[in-house]
């Protein structure tokens, strides 16, 4: 994943967002991360 980001953006330090959840969907977001489906950051929007 790091190599793909570096090739695309020129830096491995670019954050990659896997999914975005609304605040009322936090339980779903936690389940998604705990089940090890997340391949990047999971964002909660307020």
Within 10 Å of residue 42's Cβ, how many Cβ atoms? 17
User: pLDDT tens digits for 4-31?
Assistant: 767 776 666 777 899 999 999 999 999 9
The model carries a pTM of 0.65
Report pLDDT for 8: 72
Q: What value does the mean pLDDT take over residues 31-36?
A: 92
Cβ neighbours of residue 29 under 8 Å, at least 6 residues apart? 19, 21, 42, 44
Report d(CA 34, CA 21) in Å as an integer.
15
Within 10 Å of residue 39's Cβ, how many Cβ atoms? 10
């Amino acid at each position: 994943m790091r190599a793909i980001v570096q090739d695309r953006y020129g830096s491995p330090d670019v954050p990659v967002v896997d999914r975005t959840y609304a605040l009322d969907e936090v339980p779903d977001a936690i389940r998604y991360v705990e089940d090890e489906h997340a391949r990047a950051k999971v964002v909660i929007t307020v």
